Copies of this chain bind each other. A is one copy, B any other.
């Protein structure tokens, strides 16, 4: 299938959401869906949906709708979810444990291989069935096991140093939970989960709704 060379980042950001809804539809046994029906459950307009999906050559047929399974598989492929990824996690505190649990329960191609920490009271303990290893051995482990993704769950002060070592050891991507923007070479993909940014957006929206309501009652 021919694809346009450059898809806008806004479309890319919406793809995981399309996939999530398609997964639910698939699970419920739905086989076909029109852009109008899809629009009602996902909350984008039907024209937005058609436009987004046309970026990939279009999978729908006029008057027939989209094949739920076909579209799900196609989007999975576009997202790179038809491959397997080996992961390590650095920082085995509460957040690290939560993320490791999340990956363990995730049904898909993401496999957690090991966790690392600097704290002596954690090293050697078990987390989700595998041992927590000494941070000193991170680079060797990543190289030897051809790890694809490093997950950073350490604090802000140590995150860049961990990123440097993961990058040196050859990971392809970093999933970063530390509250800073990492500097890495172009060959390494970074995806951030910045909790504070998300919390501040929430505060903004609360304020915005209150402002709108106070105007209405005036």
By a beta-carbon cutoff of 8 Å, the part of chain A in contact with chain B is 12-13, 15-17, 19-20, 43, 78-81, 83, 85, 93-95, 97-99, 101-102, 106, 110, 148-149, 172-173, 175, 179-181, 186-210, 213
Contact = CB atoms under 8 A, between A and B. Distances in A.
A175 to B, nearest CB: 6
Given A172-B209, A173-B202, A98 B93 contact: yes
Contacts of A173: 202-203, 205-206
9 contacts: A16-B194, A17-B197, A19-B200, A20-B197, A78-B204, A81-B200, A94-B101, A106-B199, A191-B202
A172 B173 CA distance: 37
Q: Say whether chain A's binding surface is mostly helix, strand, loop, or mixed.
A: helix
Q: How many copies does the complex hold?
A: 2
B205 A201 contact: no
Contacts of A179: 20
A102 B99 CA distance: 14
Contact of A175 (B80, B186, B188, B202): B202
B198 A193 contact: yes
